[in-house]
């Protein structure tokens, strides 16, 4: 009797994704472009987004994907949000080309994330990698897009009634145009995905 040959499970194709991340409702546009493996888990992707955007990570977040919502939200507060633990970006994305990343439900920061490119994984490339971006991330707890707009108006006008208070609150200086790609990539270099 001869054994029936077993079918081999096809090797999973490993790719890297070029993600364009844009902060909604903020002008001028705050954006980043980052390269990640498609196998990255959502908790790791959360860390990457936090780092490249400039957030501090002190608030809840959620990924709104075509196949459902994932995050670290309290199940009593948001029972429809599935745990992000051990879920890869590739699995959560399905066939869709993008998703929404929410951060700080009080301030309501929405990030539109679009897959700009899918490329074969380059084993010589240390991922994650930020390849572009513009504008500074708003300060944490500034009050969302509308609070940020008011904050910028106050700090840019020495005659504004809240000028001194806002400058003191943010640490005496804030340049809304500042983005340091080299610094972001140095921070990403310490991450393991």
Residue range 112-150, pLDDT digits in tens:
999 999 999 999 999 999 999 999 999 999 999 999 999
Check if the beta carbon of residue 147 is closer than 8 Å to that of residue 166: no
Same domain, 48 and 125: yes
Q: Based on the domain organization, do 154 and 96 belong to the same domain?
A: no
Instruction: Evaluate whether residue 9 is within a structural domain.
Output: no
Average confidence (pLDDT) over 163-189 = 93
User: Cβ atoms within 10 A of the Cβ of 152, count?
Assistant: 17
Q: Is the pLDDT of residue 74 over 80?
A: no
Same domain, residue pair 162 and 78 = no
Q: How far apart are CA 82 and CA 87, in angstroms?
A: 10
State whether 37 and 120 are in the same domain.
yes
What per-residue confidence (pLDDT) applies to 10? 45
Q: Are residues 86 and 98 in the same domain?
A: yes
pLDDT on residue 8: 47
Question: Does one domain contain both 84 and 144?
Answer: no
Higher pLDDT among residues 29 and 13, named by residue: 29
Residue 104 three-state SS: coil
> Among 51, 19, 22, 50, which residue's Cα sits nearest to residue 36?
19
Q: What is the pLDDT of residue 5?
A: 52
Same domain, 88 and 163: no
Residues 158 and 67 grouped into a single domain? no
Name which of 102, 65, 59 is nearest 87 in CA terms: 65
Which whole-number Å values give the CA distances from 69 to 36, 79, 83, 100, in the listed order? 20, 10, 9, 9
Same domain, residue pair 41 and 116: yes
How many secondary structure helices (H) and strands (E) does the chain include?
5, 8
User: How confident is the model at residue 71, as a pLDDT?
Assistant: 93
CA 103 to chain CA centroid, Å, is 9
Regarding whether 101 and 165 lie in a shared domain, the answer is no
CA atoms of 34 and 129, how far apart (whole Å): 6
Residue 1 lies in a domain: no
Tokens of 72: 């670290």
The mean of the pLDDT values for the chain is 90
Whether residue 8 is contained in a domain is answered as no
- Residue 62: what pLDDT? 94
Report how many domains make up the chain.
Answer: 2
What percent of the chain has a predicted confidence (pLDDT) above 90? 78
Please report the pLDDT score of residue 193 as a whole number. 84
Q: What pLDDT is attached to residue 79? A: 74
Residue range 54-63, pLDDT digits in tens: 999 899 999 9
Instruction: Tell me which residue range forms the domain holding 109.
Output: 15-135+177-188
CATH code assigned at 50: 3.10.290.30
| Position 90 pLDDT exceeds 50 | yes
């Amino acid at each position: 009797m001869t054994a029936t040959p077993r079918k081999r499970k096809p090797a999973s194709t490993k790719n890297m994704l070029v993600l364009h991340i844009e902060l909604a409702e903020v002008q001028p546009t705050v954006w980043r472009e980052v390269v990640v493996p498609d196998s990255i888990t959502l908790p790791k992707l959360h860390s990457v987004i936090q780092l490249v955007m400039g957030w501090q990570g002190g608030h809840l977040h959620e990924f709104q994907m075509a196949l459902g919502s994932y995050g670290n939200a309290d199940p009593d507060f948001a029972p429809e949000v599935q745990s992000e633990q051990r879920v890869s970006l590739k699995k959560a994305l399905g066939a869709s080309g993008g998703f929404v990343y929410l951060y700080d439900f009080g301030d309501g920061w929405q990030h539109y994330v679009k897959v700009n490119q899918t490329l074969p994984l380059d084993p010589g490339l240390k991922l994650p990698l930020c390849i572009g971006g513009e504008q500074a991330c708003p300060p944490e707890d500034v009050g969302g897009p509308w609070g940020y707009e008011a904050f910028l108006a106050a700090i840019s006008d020495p005659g504004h009634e809240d000028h001194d208070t806002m400058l003191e609150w943010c640490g005496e200086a804030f340049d809304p145009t500042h983005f340091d790609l080299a610094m972001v990539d140095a921070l990403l270099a310490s991450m393991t995905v």
